[in-house]
């Protein structure tokens, strides 16, 4: 009788955690490109959720918001859900003025952005 030595080995699922990109205190023309590139690069297949952590960001100009929109488009192409944590009223107001608040998945805290997330989607 042949014994399958792999018969009792449980199937192992890879641990998938959300990719978190932390933004600086201020985002403007001087750093929006590098921050945007980091976020854009995180939005790739294999990461079901990417969180842009703007919880410490107090100022974000239109270049920073453009980077969020570009990353949002990249995420959609790759099947990634981009969640954006915004605490600052000024940053949220800038998003409202530019009309992007309705397009982006914005959360008031990191806990809320992570709530309900699971590796299985």
Tell me if 43 is assigned to some domain: yes
Instruction: Tell me if 2 is assigned to some domain.
Output: no
pLDDT for 120: 36
> Are 88 and 54 within 8 A, CB to CB?
yes
Residues 6+ apart with CB under 8 A from 93: none
Q: How far apart are CA 43 and CA 41, in angstroms?
A: 5
- Domains contained in the chain, number: 1
Residue 59 inside a domain? The answer is: yes
- The Cα–Cα gap between 21 and 72 comes to 13
Determine the average pLDDT of the residues in 5-15. Answer: 53
- The dihedrals phi and psi of 20, each to the nearest 5 degrees, come to -120, 125
pLDDT of residue 8: 56
- Which stretch of DSSP H or E encloses residue 77? helix 62-78
Query: Domain for residue 13, yes or no?
Result: no
Instruction: Give the CATH number for residue 70.
Output: 3.30.750.24
Tens digit of each residue's pLDDT (9 = 90 or more) over 88-118: 999 999 999 999 988 999 999 999 999 855 4
Q: Is residue 69 part of a domain?
A: yes
The answer to whether position 6 is within a domain reads no
The Cα–Cα gap between 48 and 121 comes to 7
| 4 within domain boundaries | no
Domain ranges, residue 44: 19-112
Q: What is the pLDDT of residues 18-77, one digit of tens each?
A: 899 999 999 999 999 999 999 999 999 988 999 999 999 999 999 999 999 999 999 999
- Whether residue 51 is contained in a domain is answered as yes
């Amino acid at each position: 009788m042949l014994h399958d030595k792999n018969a009792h080995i449980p199937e192992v699922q890879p641990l998938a955690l959300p990719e978190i990109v932390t933004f600086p205190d201020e985002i403007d023309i001087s750093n929006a490109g590098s921050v945007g590139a980091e976020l854009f690069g995180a939005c790739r297949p294999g990461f079901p959720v990417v969180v842009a952590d703007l919880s410490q960001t107090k100022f974000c100009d239109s270049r920073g918001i453009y980077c969020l929109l570009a990353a949002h488009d990249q995420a959609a192409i790759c099947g990634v859900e981009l969640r954006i944590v915004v605490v600052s009223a000024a940053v949220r107001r800038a998003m409202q003025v530019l009309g992007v608040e309705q397009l982006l998945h914005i959360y008031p805290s990191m806990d809320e952005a992570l709530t309900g997330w699971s590796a299985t989607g």
